[in-house]
Amino acid sequence: MTTMTNNRDKNTRMPDWFRSKRSRTMSSSLWEETHPGPSSSSTATTLASVAAAVAAAYAGYEFHRSVRDYGWEGALRYVWEGDPYDPDLREAVDQLEDAEFELRATSRIDDRLSGLEESLDDATASASSTGDDSYLSVRLWNVIWMDHPSNTSSINSSSSSSKIVPLDVERTLADMSHQLDKIAANVDGIVVSSSSSSLSSNKDSFLAQRVKKRKKILSKSIVSDMERCDALLASFQVFRERTKQITNE
């Protein structure tokens, strides 16, 4: 009780100017907490400006990359339509992608060619190690090839379950030759024309040139695979003739 009385006495003894100043200070602090001043607003504005600048810079980078990859016409079409290619070019691109997928993934031409070349080298090395020409035969090549991991992509159509089975060297070469001829015909039939848009110049558009170059590269790749297949077929025929000679002896 005595303490409370003493506190009241102290408050009553405070000068009026001191109590007024303390009241103004407390009121000012409360106002700043509930109403942020110019400094807080300026910070928020700065952060918003930085975020907008970053977004604009990224958008500019993406558009520049689109122009580099698709040209001005393709970049504008990509922004407005979501596809840089006009309908005709899109059809050509889809056909090229199908041919590339057929060549590399479905028929696995390159894998099987590499496997045949490797198995041929193994057969030749085995014959050299024995010093016996009779050991170098089609049968040896077939034995090595049948166990090769790349020989797993041919479908046995005579089976109702379409089971994937390995083929011997001769049937593998025949299958690849047929697939290459079919893919080459499909690629040759792809028509690449420039855009009919008013944005295009008299010459082929940038994208049309890119698609033509892609078609040319694919065609060269197919020709290269055909040459490898022909070389393997020639080796097979030599092996077969040598086997016949050994058998007749």
pLDDT single digits (tens) 146-192: 999 998 754 544 444 556 678 899 999 999 999 999 999 999 999 88
Phi (first) and psi of residue 92, to 5 degrees: -65, -40
Q: How far apart are CA 217 and CA 222, in angstroms?
A: 9
Nearest to 147 by CA among 118, 175, 183, 174: 118
Question: In this model, does residue 7 exceed pLDDT 50?
Answer: no
Q: What is the pLDDT of residue 99?
A: 95
Q: What is the pLDDT of residue 239?
A: 82
% of the chain exceeding 70 in pLDDT: 55
Q: How far is CA 246 from the centre of its chain?
A: 51
Q: What is the pLDDT of residue 202?
A: 38
Across the range 214-241, mean pLDDT stands at 93
Instruction: Quickly state the pLDDT bin for 199 (edges 50, 70, 90).
Output: very low
Across the range 225-245, mean pLDDT stands at 88
Q: How far apart are CA 152 and CA 118, in angstroms?
A: 15
Dump pLDDT digits (tens) for 50-92: 676 666 665 555 555 655 666 666 666 666 666 778 888 889 9
Q: What is the pLDDT of residue 116?
A: 96
Torsion of CA 179, 184, 185, 190, to 10 degrees: 130
Kindly list the domain boundaries of the chain, sorted by start residue: 51-84, 86-145+166-248
Question: In this model, does residue 117 exceed pLDDT 90?
Answer: yes
Which residues pair with residue 106 across a beta bridge? none
Q: How far is CA 116 from the centre of its chain?
A: 28
Q: What is the pLDDT of residue 125?
A: 84
Instruction: Quickly state the pLDDT bin for 234 (edges 50, 70, 90).
Output: very high
Question: At 115, is the secondary structure helix, strand, or coil?
Answer: helix
Q: How far apart are CA 132 and CA 181, in angstroms?
A: 37
Nearest to 228 by CA among 101, 104, 112, 123: 112
Q: How far apart are CA 170 and CA 15, in angstroms?
A: 114
- For residue 213, what are its two tokens? 């170059």
Q: What is the pLDDT of residue 34?
A: 54
Q: What is the pLDDT of residue 157?
A: 46
Lowest mean pLDDT among 13-27, 32-46, 163-177: 13-27
Q: How far apart are CA 137 and CA 115, in angstroms?
A: 17
